[in-house]
């Protein structure tokens, strides 16, 4: 079975067939999904999905691109919701400098605060970092993120930078980009990263793997990522599924539940 550690099934892209799609996952070999909060609205949607589907878990947090309107009262609500028995992490949080807004200082402020929330509620974090490696690492070090733990989602930096995250005890999230022709840097990183520190993700509805690149993504496409990962690591598909399942359970501390 495959564990999708990062999806957004609350997204409006699934409004027409969400129920049918989620109902089909198990028979297609997808055993667990973690739905990831990216805004206050998405966190509410994530809670609904956790309550409705036994195999759907969640992470609650606000994406840097949605942090411009965040307030301390929002964070207080999030902190309370993190006590939900199926909430596994705080996320996705971090920095995204690809876009001009919100201002970097605002993103940094809420990255700090959400790392602090994760420490308080004793949950790992799901970190989004895009074109912001240095500031991401600096803030993680300031907040002693190695004591919090978590995953660098949709990893996009070099293998040298991966070593810094690995040394802090973080996992590396790998999805459809691994199958892209221009995904050479990620392939090199995956070749370097130990197999016991890689987790599978889709970022659905985004980043569908080849041959579906540009179309709506879902957990059903993860076998293409598994195949590519198996080829790079010289393992069979079943072994990749087994190891990444165990990795995801450790990342989200499911053995402790």
pTM score, two decimals?
0.97
Contacts of 143 (CB under 8 A, 6+ apart): 112, 115, 116, 119
State how far the Cα of 108 lies from the Cα of 104, in Å rounded to an integer. 6
Span 33-52, average pLDDT: 98
Query: Above 80 in pLDDT, residue 111?
Result: yes
Contact between 164 and 198 under an 8 Å Cβ cutoff? The reply is no
Per-residue DSSP letter, 14: G
Contact between 80 and 40 under an 8 Å Cβ cutoff? The reply is no
Per-residue DSSP letter, 204: B
Q: Categorize the per-residue pLDDT at 255 as very low, low, confident or very high, splitting at 50, 70 and 90.
A: confident
The topology under which CATH files domain 2-256 is TIM Barrel (3.20.20)
Q: Going by DSSP bridges, is the β-strand pair 198-200/171-174 parallel, antiparallel, or unpaired?
A: parallel
Residue 257's pLDDT is 58
Tell me how far the alpha carbon of residue 132 is from its chain's centroid: 17
Q: How far is CA 123 from CA 38, 98, 107, 157, in A?
A: 17, 27, 21, 25
Quote the percentage of the chain above a pLDDT of 90.
98
Query: Above 90 in pLDDT, residue 100?
Result: no
Span 220-240, average pLDDT: 98
Residue 199's pLDDT is 98
Segments in 27-71 forming alpha helices (H)? 40-52
Span 162-189, average pLDDT: 97
Q: What's the mean pLDDT when you consider all of the chain?
A: 97
Query: Above 80 in pLDDT, residue 93?
Result: yes
Residue 194's pLDDT is 98
């Amino acid at each position: 079975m495959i564990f999708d550690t990062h999806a957004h099934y609350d997204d409006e892209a699934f409004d027409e067939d969400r129920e049918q799609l989620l109902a089909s996952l198990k028979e297609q070999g997808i055993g667990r999904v973690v739905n990831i909060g990216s805004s206050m609205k998405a966190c509410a949607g994530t809670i609904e999905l956790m309550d409705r589907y036994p195999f759907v878990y969640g992470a609650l947090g606000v994406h840097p691109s949605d942090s411009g309107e965040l307030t301390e009262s929002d964070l207080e609500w999030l902190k309370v919701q993190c006590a939900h028995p199926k909430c596994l992490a705080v996320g996705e949080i971090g920095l995204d400098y690809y876009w001009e807004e919100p201002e970097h200082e605002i993103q940094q402020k809420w990255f700090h605060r959400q790392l602090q929330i994760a420490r308080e509620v004793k949950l790992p974090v799901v970190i989004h970092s895009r074109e912001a490696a240095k500031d991401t690492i600096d803030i993680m070090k300031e907040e002693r993120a190695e004591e919090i733990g978590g995953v660098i989602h949709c990893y996009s930096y070099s293998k040298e930078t991966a070593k810094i995250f690995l040394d802090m005890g973080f996992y590396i999230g790998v999805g459809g980009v691994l199958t892209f022709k221009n995904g050479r840097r990620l392939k090199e990183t995956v070749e370097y990263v130990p197999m016991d520190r890689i987790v599978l993700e889709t970022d659905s509805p985004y980043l569908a793997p080849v041959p579906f690149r540009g179309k709506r993504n879902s957990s059903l496409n993860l076998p293409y990522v598994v195949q590519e990962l198996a080829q790079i690591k010289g393992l069979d598909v079943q072994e990749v599924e087994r190891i990444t399942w165990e990795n995801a359970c450790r990342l989200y501390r499911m053995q402790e539940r």
